[in-house]
Amino acid sequence: MQPVDFTTFTAACSELRLDWIPARLEQVYQLDRHSISLSLRTLSQRGWLTISWHPQAARFCLGEAPPRTPDTFTFSQQLRHQLGGLALVAIQPIAPWERVADLQFARRPGDPVLWHLYIEIMGKYSNAILTNQNNLVVTAAHQVSHQQSSVRTIQTGQPYDLPPALTDPSPTLEESQERWQERVGLVPGALKRNLLKTYRGLSSALVLSMIQVAGLEPEQSTDHLKAEDWARLFDRWQEWLRVLEAGQGFQPGWWPEGGYTVMGWGAVKPEESVQQLLHRYYSDRLNQQVFGQLRHQLSQKLTNLLKKLYVKANDFRSRLTQSDDADRYREQADLLMAYLHEWQPGMKQIELPDFATTKPVTIPLNPEKNAVQNAQALYKRHQKLKRSRTALEPLLADVQAEIDYLEQVEVAIGQLDDYRNADDLTALTEVRDELIQQGYLEDPEQRYRNPNSDPTTNFLKYQSPSGFEIWIGRNNRQNDQLTFRLATDYDLWFHTQEIPGSHVLLRLDPGAVADEADLQFTADLAAYYSRARQSDQAPVVYTQPKLVYKPKGAKPGMAIYKQEQVMWGQPQRGKDYVVGDR
């Protein structure tokens, strides 16, 4: 993950100073243990400033409004108590070339500063620290004791100390090309490494883009550079320093490989502002991490649950197979009672003719019992097996229903194979919430989650050849909402026949009729978004939504239907539709 370097830090501060100073602090909300959001209002706008001390994604930039869930973090409560209603009057660097901003708060612009909120963007040492006007630490996002650091402690009640000073030379516009070239090339080595080792304030991403825009190679040795190479690189160096000194002229944009720049070097797609660029980049990267962890957790849980259920179902089926022999034991007992005179003491088995076929039937016997006692034992065995069938059939039905449900959930997770945008994480989170509500997962934050909250409506959407919309549920909760709340009498409902998969809705206008191409297109998508994704073809049913029902007490996503028609969907063709749409 690309860290916020000094150049990006300066660009973000410059934008915020230009548009958000002064601003009144209205609310403070802590999102998680690594970030808070400050609600700021100016005369013309209102926004949320996100401050994060995440070890991999430390930043501060404008972001989205936080979710409406209770905030129980102590740090945010203290900020709310001390800073609520005050004005943010300045955002100042604490020292040259340091990634630390001093957010200053006063009662109103022009009044003495009462509080300082220091935002330290320093990788795994990042922090947010609140001090009073005497520069004493009142609270900190992460307190550092003597046991944790012998260089710099951060404790409430102590004076705020600046981070240890950097020792590398500072870049300056006044430095000549000769002196700059002498420093960089003093010890021959790779150009990128030498620049990073020689000066402070540089990052790997910045140096790489600077070298590439100068038409050079990062691993090119400094002793092989020509005079014109040094001149081109120095021009870029000076351009960078002029932008930093002016605090303007930044050009935020995206690199082809997925990173970003605020200098415009190598960017293939510009971004409107540094704030949007930082919010989008780090939100996506963090979401991607959470998505991967959550998907692995849910997949492992489902695999273990299904493995146990498969064993239980097989055991029930095996015992039911045994119960199929109940009538055979009764018939053997009848034979034994009819031919009591054939029995002899000490017999371990007896062979008697069958009543219907007269074929010999071998009956095992207990030599310690007489014929009547052996017959009684066979009758008891018959009754026991009959009772077990009566008990086992509903148990097997319950286990099979649970298997069907969890396989449906497994399909939903399988379809969310990779993170592409925030909707993917939302859909996966809904799957987790559903499993929590169904009792398959524990919820460490149960007291904060509303179990009755509606699922989102970020269905997958496609267009049929005739231009009709096709909506596809991404999980069971969305399937239920799509089928039982949003479908109209004019739509057509699709699902793979007896195969776990998504509910698919072909949205039709009143009076419109879907032709064969629309039906086939939708059936292909229904087959693709099912457990038959890897098959050549799969049966797909379609019917009117009013003919689709949820059985009483059924789990989310489960439905029955009638008056359906069947057609064959081709998942691989559906895959082509999906790839083409992206």
Q: Three-state secondary structure along 118-134?
A: EEECCHHHCEEEEEECC
Predicted pLDDT of residue 390: 81
Instruction: Report, at the CATH architecture level, how domain 6-140 is classified.
Output: Roll (2.30)
- Please check the confidence at residue 501 and state whether its pLDDT lies above 90: yes
Identify the bridge partners of residue 462 per DSSP, sorted by sequence position. 470
Distance CA 347, CA 365 (A): 7
In a 10 Å sphere around its CB, with 0-12 CB exposed, 13-18 middle and 19+ buried, how is residue 61 labelled?
buried
Q: What is the DSSP string of 145-189?
A: -TTT-SS--B-TTSBPPPPPPP-SPPP-TTS-HHHHHHHHTSS--
Residue of higher predicted confidence among 566 and 165: 566
Predicted pLDDT of residue 582: 53
Identify the bridge partners of residue 127 per DSSP, sorted by sequence position. 120
> Cα 230 from chain centroid?
46
- For 539, the token pair is 């049966």
In a 10 Å sphere around its CB, with 0-12 CB exposed, 13-18 middle and 19+ buried, how is residue 41 labelled?
middle
CATH topology of domain 177-271: Helicase, Ruva Protein; domain 3 (1.10.8)
Q: What predicted TM-score, i.e. pTM, was given to this entire model?
A: 0.79
Instruction: Give me the numbers of helices (H) and strands (E) for the chain, helices first please.
Output: 13, 22
Distance CA 215, CA 180 (A): 19
Predicted pLDDT of residue 356: 84
Identify the bridge partners of residue 504 per DSSP, sorted by sequence position. 472, 494
- Per the listing, tokens 């934008």 go with 15
- Residue length, the chain? 582
- For 427, the token pair is 């859909």
- Please check the confidence at residue 580 and state whether its pLDDT lies above 60: yes
- The Cα angle at residue 257 between residues 254 and 262, in degrees rounded to 5: 30
Report the mean per-residue pLDDT for the chain. 90
Compute φ and ψ for 379, nearest 5 degrees: -65, -40
Compute φ and ψ for 181, nearest 5 degrees: -65, -35
Lowest mean pLDDT among 302-316, 411-425, 479-493, 512-526: 411-425
Lowest mean pLDDT among 18-32, 454-468, 516-530, 551-565: 454-468
Cα diameter, the chain: 123
Residues 6+ apart with CB under 8 A from 312: 399
Place 448 in a pLDDT band, splitting at 50, 70 and 90: very low
Provide the residue ranges of all domains of the chain, joining segments of one domain with +: 6-140, 177-271, 320-402, 460-581
Identify the bridge partners of residue 353 per DSSP, sorted by sequence position. 360
Residue of 128, 25, 39, 32 whose CA lies nearest to 73: 32
Q: Which of 143-157, 435-449, 473-487 has the highest mean pLDDT?
A: 473-487
Instruction: Give whole-number Cα distances, 181 to 169, 185, 225, 391, 541, in Å.
Output: 14, 6, 11, 87, 73
In a 10 Å sphere around its CB, with 0-12 CB exposed, 13-18 middle and 19+ buried, how is residue 288 labelled?
middle
Q: What is the DSSP string of 190-210?
A: BHHHHHHHH-SS--HHHHHHH
Predicted pLDDT of residue 126: 94
Q: What is the DSSP string of 229-266?
A: HHHHHHHHHHHHHHHHHHT---B-EE-TTS-EESB-TT
C-alpha distance across the termini of the chain, in Å: 25
Distance CA 268, CA 254 (A): 6
Place 446 in a pLDDT band, splitting at 50, 70 and 90: low
- Please check the confidence at residue 325 and state whether its pLDDT lies above 80: no
Lowest mean pLDDT among 24-28, 238-242, 578-582: 578-582
The 3-state DSSP composition of the chain as helix, strand, coil percent (nearest 5) reads: 40, 20, 40
Cβ pair 495, 479 in contact under 8 A = no
Task: State pLDDT tens for residues 245-280.
Answer: 999 999 999 998 889 999 999 888 999 999 999 999
- Please check the confidence at residue 451 and state whether its pLDDT lies above 50: no
Number of neighbouring beta carbons within 10 Å of residue 497: 18
Predicted pLDDT of residue 447: 41
Specify the pairing of strand 504-506 against strand 469-472. antiparallel
Number of neighbouring beta carbons within 10 Å of residue 133: 13
Residue of 341, 338, 340, 344 whose CA lies nearest to 356: 338
